Structure 1
Amino acid sequence: MRTILIASVLALGTAGAQAQDDSRYTLQRTDDGYVRMDKMTGAMSICTERSGQLVCKLAADERGALQADMEEMQDRLDGLEKRLAALETGRQDAVGGLPTEDEFEKSLSYMERFFRSFMGIVREFEREEKPAPERT
């Protein structure tokens, strides 16, 4: 009975996999159960029979890599959530480094001095280029 149930589960699993993509997964019988390999990604799963069902878990080395990826993603998500919360409360330091009011005024003062000097140079060139009035 148990063998028939396992064969049925495997047949259904194989039929489902074939409906999605012909021979994407391969199952190989081992002493302790089965090894399932995803031919597209190379992911390996260890499958065992429990209560008449086939239960598959990622292989240990892939589980570690997946766990590391998940932890990195969680750290990035935490950082984004903190930044979003800061943006929603209107904190200046979270807005991507926008200057404070004093820094803005100081920058504006530099720009004003630059343009005044520049316009002075332009006026000098204009005076030099004007021809002197002719006397008769």
Structure 2
Amino acid sequence: MKKRYFFLIIAFVLLAACDPIYGYKYEVENLTESTLVVEYLETESIFVRQYPDSLRRIRIAPNTKKAIFLQNLPEASPNQSQSRIEALQHLRISKADTIFSNVDFLQSSRWALSQEKNPTLYVYRLQVQQGDF
């Protein structure tokens, strides 16, 4: 019986000592009536290490949102004083691959930060509107 408690206590201490990982999700919300094409490249990831000159491209349907990048970090406090979104090194948005926006979407003032119900997940959300083109 004492042996069982000893192992339970050791298991509890090992699990309690683990530091949580915090997730930062970057979403783009399309508030226009056109399909958006988002070209982006994150600052640091396995993809960037393998293909350093390749951009990722996704399409976002009108009036929908899509996560473009998920970053896991050991710290819980997002840097709200930064002037630019540091997790992305490139971000360009166009409507239907033909009309490109001149807006600098990497300015942090363009991104709204919220915390999800899960206390270890933060969401940066960029809303793209018709006036951005």
- Normalised-by-shorter TM-score class: under 0.3
Q: Which has the higher helix share?
A: 1
Structure number with bigger Rg: 1
Question: TM-score by structure 1 length?
Answer: 0.23
Question: TM-score by structure 2 length?
Answer: 0.24
Q: Which has the higher strand share?
A: 2
Greater relative CO, 1 or 2 (CA 8 Å, sep 6+)? 2
